[in-house]
């Protein structure tokens, strides 16, 4: 059992090392790729510097430097948040979306796909990740579809989407429902 556990930890470490070394592509730094990936996946409530810092378990200062670099490269833009003018909303630019499509981690996706989808593998890795996040007191993040505040309401014809976040009261589209959120709270199994 111990041997198996050590082996799994070794595999995670080696895969992580390969992933990290790939993240200097396009003249970028790993933290810059991580920020772009987050902005491509996060919902509109979570595309903020603070949520990004929480997601990366990083400091506001470090994230600020990353955002300045991405801004200079023309990969992100900052908009005023309509709900709170003190908070800046972050968005990918057209160039930012294009570079995300060339993400060097796609090679890992291809490698995973090439061995076939192992039922339970993603769930087990997710459980390990959530345990560690919980131990460190960090926010877990997650998609609306698995959140206890999500209400699926196909009958509604609200202009922004047929679903609703019962925490904020905001409508959610199908696209929103698959994006990650800082306020996510896992639904009871």
Asked if 149 contacts 188 with a C-beta cutoff of 8 angstroms, the reply is no
Which residue stretch of 14-22, 71-79, 83-91, 147-155 sits at the interface with ligand SF4 (rule: CB under 6 A)? 147-155
**CB-hemisphere CA count at 13 Å for 119?**
0
Per CB under 6 A, does 55 bind ligand SF4? no
**90/147 with CB nearer ligand SF4:** 147
Q: Does 38 bind ligand SF4 (CB under 6 A)?
A: no
Q: From the list 64, 167, 171, 173, which residue makes contact with ligand SF4 (rule: CB under 6 A)?
A: 167
Q: Does 149 bind ligand SF4 (CB under 6 A)?
A: yes
Helix (H, G, I), strand (E, B) or coil at 79: strand
Residue 147 binds ligand SF4, judged by CB under 6 A? yes
On the CB side of 5, CA atoms within 13 Å amount to 3
User: Which residues fall within 8 angstroms of residue 24, CB to CB, at 6 or more apart?
Assistant: 30
**45 contributes a contact to ligand SF4 by CB under 6 A:** yes
Least Cα distance to 171 among 188, 187, 150, 145 occurs for 150
In the complex, which residues of this chain contact ligand SF4 (CB under 6 A)? 43, 45, 144, 147, 149-150, 165, 167-168, 181, 183-184
């Amino acid at each position: 059992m111990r041997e198996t556990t050590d082996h799994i930890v070794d595999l995670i470490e080696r895969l992580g090392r390969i992933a990290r070394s790939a993240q200097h592509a396009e003249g970028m730094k790993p933290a810059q790729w991580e920020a772009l990936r987050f902005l491509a996946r996060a919902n509109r409530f979570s595309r903020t510097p603070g949520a990004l810092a929480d997601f990366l378990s990083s400091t506001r200062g470090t994230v600020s430097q990353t955002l300045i670099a991405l801004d200079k490269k023309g990969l992100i833009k900052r908009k005023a948040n309509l709900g709170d003018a003190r908070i800046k909303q972050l968005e990918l630019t057209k160039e930012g979306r294009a570079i995300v499509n060339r993400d060097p981690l796609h090679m890992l996706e291809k490698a995973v796909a090439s061995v076939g989808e192992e039922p339970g593998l993603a769930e087990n890795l997710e459980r390990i990740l959530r345990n560690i996040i919980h131990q460190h007191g960090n926010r877990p993040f997650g998609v609306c579809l698995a959140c206890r505040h999500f209400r699926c309401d196909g009958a509604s014809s609200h202009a922004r989407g047929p679903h609703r976040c019962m925490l904020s009261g905001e409508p959610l589209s199908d696209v929103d429902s698959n994006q990650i959120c800082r306020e996510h709270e896992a639904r009871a199994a």
